[in-house]
Amino acid sequence: MNVLVTGGAGFIGSHTVDKLISAGIQTVVIDRAEPKYRNDEAIYYRLDLNNPETENVFKAHDFDCVIHLAAQASVAVSVADPVKDAADNVMASVRVIEYCKKYGVKKIIVSSSAALYAVPQYLPVDEKHPVSFLSPYAISKHTMEEYVRLSGLDYIIFRYANVYGPRQDPHGEAGVVSIFIERALKGLPIEIHGDGEQTRDFVYVADVAEMNCRAVISPASNVVLNVSTNTQTSVNKLFELIKENTDYALLPIPAPSRPGDIKHSVLNNALVAETLDFTPQTTLADGLAETVEFFKRTY
Ligand SMILES: NC(=O)c1ccc[n+]([C@@H]2O[C@H](COP(=O)([O-])OP(=O)(O)OC[C@H]3O[C@@H](n4cnc5c(N)ncnc54)[C@H](O)[C@@H]3O)[C@@H](O)[C@H]2O)c1
């Protein structure tokens, strides 16, 4: 098989590339960023997907499948700069879909988000839950989903919960896990917003990469699947686990709740278990221990 990974220089993309290569799948990457974690067996093109030269990559390789992970992945950036968000998350996605159609790619696998469930009406949230939008990011991910559905391509739409793990950038708009770990290892103060009892569903990046790899090989198609652990973890609990792993000695600093913060989020993963015969296997304790080790080596 020959697979294109867009966004393959990014956090989830780089793990997905490694997983595909270790499964013996030929892998090509398009990303506008230089890969920090290059896999020597993959072919890399440094290109913006909105650059017309992207078409030449589709022309040069006979892709069986595309895993489309490239995106502007920050909710805050989408609020500050909706034009950039729409360019990266809508226009670039439409181009990828059109190239897939033109060059006979059989299947597209795309990364959408739990952001589409906004404030959940029930927990755990399943894929039938209505979607609604609290940010341009949620709108752009939903728009991408609709283009994929209409494309006539075989597709799998993944809606990821909060992905964490080695290689996640702790700067800028990173996830809470990498921010807490970096600060804990440097002995810096850690703020917890609100009462810290807000919960999230933290899924380990190697499990997400495995899911992408299985989606390539599986005959399943035309389905929306949550990628999650079906487990709620409070921010206070997360802090305690990271404290244990890093010997952090300080107490968390209480900070005001952030406007728009969702109180609880956990995604039902029964459908992905049934469809791809896999659910994330890594416990939060194990995933955090791996992530802390990575940060110790890297930062
Ligand atoms: N990390 C999470 O918790 C999470 C949760 C839900 C959904 N997602 C989605 O998963 C995907 C991967 O996320 P990530 O956390 O690895 O983000 P990331 O920022 O680490 O990776 C995204 C990559 O896409 C590239 N990119 C963006 N726009 C591009 C363009 N126009 N042309 C070429 N390359 C472009 C970036 O250079 C980057 O390397 C994204 O689609 C994101 O929205 C992530």
Cα(53)–Cα(96) distance, rounded to whole angstroms?
12
Ligand 1 pocket: which of 15, 36, 69 to mutate (most atoms within 8 A of CB): 69
Cα distance between residue 180 and residue 186, in whole Å:
10
- For ligand 1, atom 28, name the residue with the nearest CA: 71
Atom of ligand 1 nearest to the CA of 164: 3
pLDDT digits (tens, 9 = 90+) for 58-73: 999 999 999 999 999 9
3-state percent breakdown (helix, strand, coil) of the chain, nearest 5: 40, 20, 40
Is there a contact between 211 and 262 (Cβ–Cβ < 8 Å)? no
Question: What is the pLDDT at residue 259?
Answer: 75
Closest ligand 1 atom to residue 87 Cα is: 31
Angstrom distances, CA of residue 251 to CA of 168, 190, 227, 245, 254:
24, 8, 32, 15, 9
Q: What is the pTM of this model?
A: 0.98
> What are the phi and psi torsion angles at 84 (to 5°)?
-60, -40
80: buried, middle or exposed (CB in 10 Å: 19+, 13-18, 0-12)?
Answer: exposed
Give the model confidence (pLDDT) of 15-53 as tens digits. Answer: 999 999 999 999 999 999 999 999 999 999 999 999 999
CA–CA gap between residue 187 and residue 199 (Å, rounded): 24
Catalytic residue among 44, 45, 99, 137: 137
Enumerate the domain spans of the chain: 2-164+203-227
- In the residue annotation, 137 being an active-site residue is answered as yes
Residue keyed to tokens 């949550």: 226
pLDDT of residue 172: 63
Question: Which stretches does DSSP call E strand in the chain?
Answer: 2-6, 26-31, 43-46, 65-68, 107-113, 154-160, 162-164, 191-193, 199-200, 202-204, 223-227, 233-234, 253-255
pLDDT of residue 260: 74
Low-confidence ranges of the chain (pLDDT < 70): 172-174
Give the β-pairing of 199-200 and 233-234.
antiparallel
Q: What is the CATH number of domain 2-164+203-227?
A: 3.40.50.720
**DSSP notation for 143-164:** HHHHHHHHT-SEEEEEEE-EEE
pLDDT at 84 (0 to 100): 98
DSSP 294: H
* Cα 31 to ligand 1 centroid, rounded to whole Å: 10
The CA distance from 16 to 9, in Å, is 10
